[in-house]
Amino acid sequence: MQHNPKKINSELNPNVSVDCVIFGFDLEQLTVLLIDRGEISSAFGPRLALPGNLIYDNENLDMAADRVLDELTGLKNIYLEQVGAFGDPDRIHKESDREWLKSIRAEPEARVITVAYYTLVTMSQYKPQASSFAKNADWVPVNEIKELAFDHFEILQAAKEKLKQKIKIQPIGFNLLPEKFTLSQLHRLYESILDKPLDKRNFRRKIQKLDILTSLREKQRGVPHKPSLLYRFNEEKYQELTQTGFDNFGF
Amino acid sequence: MQHNPKKINSELNPNVSVDCVIFGFDLEQLTVLLIDRGEISSAFGPRLALPGNLIYDNENLDMAADRVLDELTGLKNIYLEQVGAFGDPDRIHKESDREWLKSIRAEPEARVITVAYYTLVTMSQYKPQASSFAKNADWVPVNEIKELAFDHFEILQAAKEKLKQKIKIQPIGFNLLPEKFTLSQLHRLYESILDKPLDKRNFRRKIQKLDILTSLREKQRGVPHKPSLLYRFNEEKYQELTQTGFDNFGF
DNA sequence: TTTGGATAGTGTAAATTTGACACAAAGCTA
DNA sequence: TAGCTTTGTGTCAAATTTACACTATCCAAA
């Protein structure tokens, strides 16, 4: 928790926390980085929760979200979007929740509102076992999550919906892919986020017409089938597009 | 401020406030209900601000927004959508801001984060002078607003953008119109929200094809030109539509 | 080396949607 | 009754969307 020593002199605000829905994509499906709260909670409710923490009084909300992400994964400068504020007075129900909150320095009796963010990371840049902060963290496919601690399941639903809407307007999906990727991977990504099948040929036609991909003269290697061409996201062309007011990346 | 006596026994949370962007439509342009903070602030900065207040510890955020709206306008059951949380540690800059916050019982030294909402009301249902709470409140056309107190201008921008995106997905604009309205009024409404001109015939064709309007056998009266037919929003047909997964109300 | 399994990559035709555009009808006022 | 103002309407061309099936390429196993 002392990962960012500059912050430690400031005071934690006991009323406001930040929770992060950290999305990843394992090239098959959308996943979320969850932390396991361990035995302490297992008898009472869901062990899995979104990573989060109270905010410091001298940081703004976006910075707090960056910090939580950094503490857990060591990643910086990650795509980040606010989902919204969640704050039912009774959002902390269980004795186990209170115990656990104490263990991370929160005031379990205070009413806490949380500001939720979602972030998009490239899974290959981060494996949970690589970081000492992430001993209890792991990627879980979104579709397999049926419950979470506190009101985190509700937050996850809201984040999925925000992401879905956002990707119809901006091609932010590239933040979830490695630098080089195939059209099929991009296709799968859009299908998982939009949660519906998309026709292969129509998808390819549409994405190619946008002209925001650079085709690398390079093929996939080691796959037991016809290897795919690799592409890279072309930031410059994307900027050109948006600056002309274009905003129809919808599917 | 004691409009809702049930709440008065609970404690105010000094760290969390709710601000409301109350949109209206004067049949010409989009407007926002602002309060005038009066002389106390005039020497230091903008007098106009969004209505808002601290939240009580026993109410959830949506309820708090409803309450603020009710206190100011007396309106209940209004369309309400969260914009997000705003919370730069230095969002309260000026001495005048501190004075004013004291006057509404806030703790000016505490770091306050605010959760912003936007709401859509029918202007004809509410005239500022009708309510004793609203002596200092008035409708201001959105396009004429150049600055607001605190970070409220930023919040307003965010709210406008949210509304713009939302109306592309759901036909929520009817909440801004009287029960009976003309297609031209609806047309103007979409133009003000989307902030761009829309071709009259194409707009009409599109809105009619959605089949969510009931044509009343009734004409406008007293207008110095050809009177328009009046329409009503058809909630049932809209529900049918959305339940089939339709979500393209975009323009 | 041949064969089978798996995914990549490609084109077309029909239906739908969009965008551009102009004039007659209806009511009010002077 | 003449003039002003806004309503209400149709068409055509272009662009976009949808549905749909087969060959090419690589790896692995026989």
pLDDT of residue A1: 36
Residue A111: its chain B contacts at CB < 8 A?
Answer: 13, 57
CA angle B212, B217, B221 (to 5 degrees): 110
Question: pLDDT, tens digit, for every residue of B41-56?
Answer: 555 678 899 999 989 9
Q: At what angle are helices A183-194 and A200-210 packed, to 10 degrees? A: 110
Q: Mean pLDDT of all residues in chain A?
A: 87
Q: Measure the N-to-C terminal CA separation of chain B; round to a whole number of Å.
A: 41
Q: CATH 1.10.10.10 spans which residues of chain B?
A: 173-243
* pLDDT at residue B124, rounded to an integer: 85
- Specify the DSSP class assigned to residue A94: -
> How many beta-carbon contacts under 8 Å exist across A and B?
54
Q: With cut-offs at 50, 70 and 90, classify the pLDDT of residue B246.
A: confident
Reported confidence tier of residue B157, pLDDT bands at 50, 70, 90: very high
CATH of A172-243, one of 2.10.10.90, 3.90.1150.10, 3.30.930.10, 1.10.10.10: 1.10.10.10
pLDDT, tens digit (0-9, with 9 covering 90-100), for A201-243 = 999 999 999 999 999 999 998 899 999 999 999 999 998 888 8
The distance (Å) linking the CA of B78 with the C1' of D1 is: 50
pLDDT for res B196: 95
Cβ of residue B58 closer than 8 Å to a chain A Cβ: yes
Could you give the CA distance from residue A139 to residue B133 in angstroms, rounded to a whole number? 52
**Amino acid making up residue A157:** Q
Give dist(CA A221, CA B10) in Å, integer. 65
Q: How confident is the model at residue A251 (pLDDT cuts 50, 70, 90)?
A: confident
What confidence score (pLDDT) does residue A2 get? 35
Q: Which residue of A58, A85, A111 is in closest CB contact with B57? A: A111
Confidence (pLDDT) at B99: 72
Q: In sequence order, which residues have a C-beta less than 8 Å from that of residue A52 and are 6 or more positions away?
A: A17, A18, A19, A20, A68, A114
| CATH code 1.10.10.10 region(s) in chain A | 172-243
Q: Which residues contact B99 (CB under 8 A, 6 or more apart)?
A: B40, B41, B108
CA of B117 to C1' of C5 (A): 56
Q: B169 at the A interface (CB within 8 A)? A: yes
Mutation target for A interface from B15, B54, B88: give the one with most A CBs within 10 A: B15
Residue B49: strand pairing partners: B35
Q: End-to-end distance of chain A based on CA atoms, in angstroms?
A: 41
Predicted confidence (pLDDT) per residue in B80-135, tens digit? 999 999 986 666 656 667 777 677 666 656 677 999 999 999 998 887 765 555 56
The secondary structure of residue A227, as a DSSP letter, is P
Q: Which residue has the tokens 């050109």?
A: A240
Tell which B residues from 205 to 234 touch A, by Cβ distance under 8 Å: none
Q: What percent of chain A has pLDDT over 90?
A: 63
| pLDDT given for residue A108 in this prediction | 58
Q: What is the third-level CATH fold of B173-243?
A: Arc Repressor Mutant, subunit A (1.10.10)
Average pLDDT over residues B207-213: 95
Query: Which nucleotides of strand D lie within 7 A of protein CB?
Result: 4-11, 17-21, 24-28
Looking at domain B5-167, which CATH architecture does it have?
Alpha-Beta Complex (3.90)
pLDDT band at B2 (very low <50, low <70, confident <90, very high): very low
Through-space separation of residue B157 CA and nucleotide C8 C1' in angstroms = 45
Instruction: Give the model's pLDDT for residue B248.
Output: 80
Residue ranges of chain A that CATH labels 3.90.79.10:
5-167
> Separation of CA B220 and C1' C27 in angstroms?
10
**Is B89 in contact with A165 (Cβ distance < 8 A)?**
no
Tell me how close the Cα of B216 comes to any Cα of chain A, in angstroms: 35
> Is the CB of B13 less than 8 angstroms away from the CB of A15?
yes
Average pLDDT over residues A102-116: 74
